[in-house]
Chain A
Amino acid sequence: MPFRTILLNGKEVTAEYQAIGSGASESSEILLYWLREQFGQHGPRFGCGLAQCGACTVLVDDVPTRSCVVQLHTVEDLAEVRTLDGLSHDEKDPHPLQREFVELQAGQCGFCINGMIMGSLGWIEGRIAGGDRSVPSEDEVKAFLSGAAPGNTRNYICRCGTHTRIVAAIRSAAEEMAR
């Protein structure tokens, strides 16, 4: 069985992955399952398997990525993968995004919020890295989460209807992240 080494939340880890076929017909284990089964990650979750909802979002080399459609053979060796599990486990010292989601009670069932937290983490960090330290407007956050922003065509779904709180939480966190 082939194996892959990645930097998972900053730590080098290696595991085998399953694959069938070769060349153009190669089909291999999905990153989402591999992260959950091999490395006990619980943040990314199976929502649709179609890259249409966002529940499985992780950052691959800082880019928000739908792990439910990424096959392992397409992942670069030593790719940096960041998950919600690696953000902060300490309830006393959460990441600003985690803190604001709790502070503003931006969740109902909470199944989707991995996507909004990890997706906006990559997005806001990307803005800051590009020199843009402004707090995104409400419309900008909505456009990003709706897959209608420059550089993001992926929609994030919340089915419980917690949208207004999620948008507010992301803006609040962005203010702190850009500081």
Chain B
Amino acid sequence: MNTQTTRRQFLLGSGAIAIGFTLAGPAKAASAASHDRDGLVRVTAAGAPADTTQSWLVLTDKEITVYSGKVELGTGVQTALTQMVVEELRLGVADVGWVQGDTLLSVSQGVTAGSKTVQNGGIQLQQAAATAYQELLHRAAAYFKVAPEQLAAENGRFYLNGRPSGRSVTYKKLLKSGVTVRPVDQTVPLVAAEDYVVVGTSVPRVDLPAKANATFRFLHDVKVPGMLHGRVVRPSGRNATQPVIGGLDRAKAIAGFVDVVQRDRFIGVVATSEWAASAAASSRTGITVSWTSGAKLIPQADLPTAVRDPANHYTSVVEIDDDVAPILAGADKVLSSQYFSPFHMHAGMGASSAVADVRRTPDPETGVQATIWSGTQDVNALAGAIAPLLGLPRSAVRVIYVEATGCYGHNGADDCAADAAVLSQAVGKPVRVQWTRQDEHGWEPLGGAQAHDMQGAVGPDGIIAWSHLNYAATANSRPVAGVPGTLLAGALMGLLPAPLPSTSVDTSGRNAPVTYGFPQRVEARLLKSFETTGPASAVAASPLTYRIPRTTALRSLGGFSNSFANESFFDELAHAGGHDPLELRIASLTDPRAVAVCEALRPMWRGRPAGGDGTGAGVAFQQYEVVNAYAAAYVEVRVDPATGKVTVTRVVVAHDCGLIINPDGLRNQIEGNVVQGIGRALKEQVSYTDDRITSVTWQTNASNPGYEVMRFSDVPAIETILINHTDKPPLGAGEPAIGTIGGAIGNAIFAATGKRIRTLPFTPDRVKAALAE
């Protein structure tokens, strides 16, 4: 196929422009979805009622529209999912419309997270597209009065008895008459991998041209008629109480000021312009709020001790319980080490925003009373949490996803949406809320701090026993339907969050188990984020009192810290046993695909710097979630002995995520994982006191530490080795590589300096101190 043509058609396709949000009112949008007019094929969820407004796919003679429950978070999945749909429809390349994450129109595909969009969501959309194709085939067979087997489709046209000699008919013509609504059919066949035309090619991102010329509309650009602007004013500290608002006269004097809204500890201002709202919310020019300090948080400096303190745990989870104690007791060479990672932020480029339009009465046609535009990862969960916050039934809340800044997990998007909803309900007008950078950095739910007690035994044949005790903050405070206290606004209004999770398996315990062949014991002890109703209780005590900042899902959840500890400790054991770290990994792995990504690094590893002179190389391996994509990383570093500054100079990632949908999109994701992984290993950490987060800006200044992330000058050359398996299912690629980076860098620092540093981040001060030991 002609790739140049492909590119142009995708660039010019309506998909490139028509994405983003629809501002059609609920009624209009609903009737657009129900499509009672003649001439369409609609695929709905299996078991859905006949009159459902939710679709997987709608084909008319005018356009083909995908209604994706999975949403584009800035990772390129719209392009990849479109490729998968187009392939099943035998369209070659075509203009495919895209509606995503709308509780009224799209079938729920759950949360968009955990590298599951292509892996799960793509497969569902494929099946929906294949269902639509069967209907088209059926119509074509009727048109020619032949058996379906006599037809073949290509580029939106059916050919009789093979192309190009026979007669043909376009989809467009077949779609002109008749209405077919079909539930998705799990039994219809899919295109065979060897026949793929579009899947597996580097189709350019459909959204990028519009993003490069300012015609793309982000969530931050959503504007609805009569919309006001809101700002929130947060408590001075995490547990601060009893706000007293002053300076009202000053705020009221600002042209455009509308109202100050207070609901217990939730405070916001509303005005007619963004600047007026920001001026009214500023203690310098608008309202002032004084607070009474509340209970103290566990201070940052105490964390490594406190997270291991049983008084701070509510449960433990034994995930794997091989009988390693006797082996460890009887082995000659046993190592024990302690690792630690701090709190990390998502820190999206754009501070969160949202628009909410909460009416006094429901729309007579749809019953929708509150419409919320949000960059949430889960429109359904958000709608379900906001409804009781507003005192509305779930059916009265519609949440529409609009692409926002890249989020890398559960960031402030949901909380900001709740802020907008509360303010809109209070003033009776649509309100757009824009968080400040300080709101985002100071209050977004964080990636949790973790500590790891590692123990292992090594002999002449390799590692013989392994134990990983993981102390972790919980990795989920996502919105939960029916529990408005899961939203920050709800919590500030005095509502309690959901109980802490009963398990850490694949959340804060993600990738705590290793996939090497030796016996292992893996246990997690889970940290109380807030005071609970008893020592072993996961239920929040009232009033809500935090012990640590709220924690949640950040890219790979516990996987980043768990793999850092695992892969660093593996290196310790390898060196202690006199084994080559890469070869010992290869020898310890049993899955050929795992072995293959490690073997792919051999050329770099064999040519690595000798080490010991301030330069060195390290490797790390991880199979994401133990059962998904395989990633191995080779990293070279340079360590400045005078300053302790670590510079990553080269990264090579070998990656196997099964069938590759879009090679260049995949490389882009891996590169992003590498850069973010280096940042988290070298620079990033949330700073906080026993009262509040202090790293509320990007850059460090005289009064506050910044949340420092990678700068362009910090970024090394990144190479990717892609291993494609067209006969295997596609696996998610948004997170697998990041888990390898912390360990590989730590191992490279060890090779360069002989020093093993077990606490992240590897800041110049920390490295310098280690070098002086």
Contacts and interface: CB of A to CB of B under 8 A. Distances in A.
Interface stretch (B42-50, B191-199, B211-219, B302-310): B211-219
B436 interface: yes
B437 A49 contact: yes
A156 B712 contact: yes
A98 B212 contact: yes
A107 B212 contact: yes
**Closest 10 A/B residue pairs (Cβ):** A109-B74, A161-B675, A109-B406, A161-B672, A110-B211, A43-B214, A48-B437, A145-B712, A146-B713, A163-B715
A53 B16 CA distance: 27
- Which of A117, A159, A167 gathers most chain B CB within 10 Å? A159
B265 interface: no
B113 interface: no
Contacts of B221: 42
Interface string A98-110: 1001100101111
Interface stretch (A59-67, A73-81, A87-95, A126-134): A87-95
Given A30-B275, A94-B213, A157 B349 contact: yes
B208 A48 contact: no
B420 to A, nearest CB: 15
- Which of B255, B350, B669 gathers most chain A CB within 10 Å? B350
Contacts, number: 205
B217 A42 contact: yes
Interface string A36-51: 1100011101111110
A150 B643 CA distance: 24
Contact of B212 (A41, A47, A83, A101): A101
Contacts of A37: 273-274
Interface string B417-446: 000000000000000001011000000000
A178 interface: no
Interface in B548-603: none
Interface residues of A, number: 63
A20 interface: yes
Interface string A151-169: 0000111111111111100
A142 interface: yes
Contacts of B698: 48, 50, 52-53, 155, 157
Contacts of B16: 91
Nearest to B202: A105
B711 interface: yes
A22 B463 CA distance: 73
A155 B706 CA distance: 13
B161 interface: no
8 contacts: A18-B256, A27-B285, A87-B213, A109-B403, A111-B404, A157-B709, A158-B349, A158-B712
A146 B708 CA distance: 12
Contacts of B274: 33, 36-37
Given A110-B207, A163-B712, A46 B406 contact: no
B350 A52 contact: no
A157 B669 CA distance: 17
A113 B211 contact: yes
A73 to B, nearest CB: 12
Interface of B: 11-12, 16, 73-76, 204-205, 207-209, 211-218, 220-221, 253-256, 273-276, 278-279, 284-285, 347-351, 353, 403-406, 408, 434, 436-437, 664-665, 668-669, 671-676, 697-699, 706, 709-715, 717-718
A87 B214 CA distance: 9
Contacts of A155: 698-699, 711
A55 B350 contact: yes
A88 B672 contact: no
A45 B434 CA distance: 11
A125 interface: no
Contacts of A50: 437, 697-699
Contacts of A30: 275, 278
B276 A111 contact: no
A112 interface: yes
A16 to B, nearest CB: 10
A141 interface: yes
A148 B712 CA distance: 10
A110 B76 CA distance: 10
Contacts of B285: 20, 27
Given A45-B218, A49-B437, A108 B213 contact: no
Given A50-B437, A111-B74, A159 B349 contact: yes
